[in-house]
Amino acid sequence: MAEPHPGQSAEPQSGQPFVIERHGDIAIITPSPAVERMPENLMEQAAQAVLAPLRNDPPAGLIFDLSKVDYVGSVFLSFLLRCHKRVKEQGSEVVVAGASPKAKELLHMTALDTLWALYNTRKEALAALSVD
């Protein structure tokens, strides 16, 4: 497994809503459980912090690893869509890994499961994106 960029740990630290890791040309965004309760204004700040490195160094693929969150709300879905739009403009593929049953249900109800391929694990998602 590739190491995260310097200064980024593989585990979310206290107060760090997202961890961004790179595995070659694939970026993985892992939200911490804190995003389940994050107000919209803080989510907007977090989105800017996440999108900046993606803008500067576009990945070939992006995985949203939702394994650490149980529930995703509308504010978080808006964040996912914003990230999706940004990386799609750069020709990147976007997938979701590790979504809980609640998150999968919400993605299905909002038809976002037709926009993103869903994988049970980060490993499956990495394998799928690496094949292309």
Segment holding 68, helix H or strand E: none
Tell me how far apart the alpha carbons of residues 47 and 34 are, in angstroms, rounded to a whole number.
14
The CATH number of the domain where 50 resides is what?
3.30.750.24
pLDDT tens digits along 59-84: 899 999 999 998 888 888 888 888 88
pLDDT tens digits along 95-114: 999 999 999 999 999 999 99
Segment holding 100, helix H or strand E: none
Position 8 in a domain: no
Return the bridge partners of 22, or none: 27
Banded pLDDT at 85 (limits 50, 70, 90) = confident
Share of the chain above pLDDT 90, in %: 42
Arithmetic mean of pLDDT, 102-130 = 93
Locate 82 and state its tokens: 């914003």
Number of domains composing the chain? 1
Locate 17 and state its tokens: 């809503």
**Tokens 């989510």 found at:** 43
Position 131 in a domain: no
End-to-end Cα distance, the chain: 19
Arithmetic mean of pLDDT, 82-99 = 89
Banded pLDDT at 123 (limits 50, 70, 90) = very high
pLDDT at 107: 92
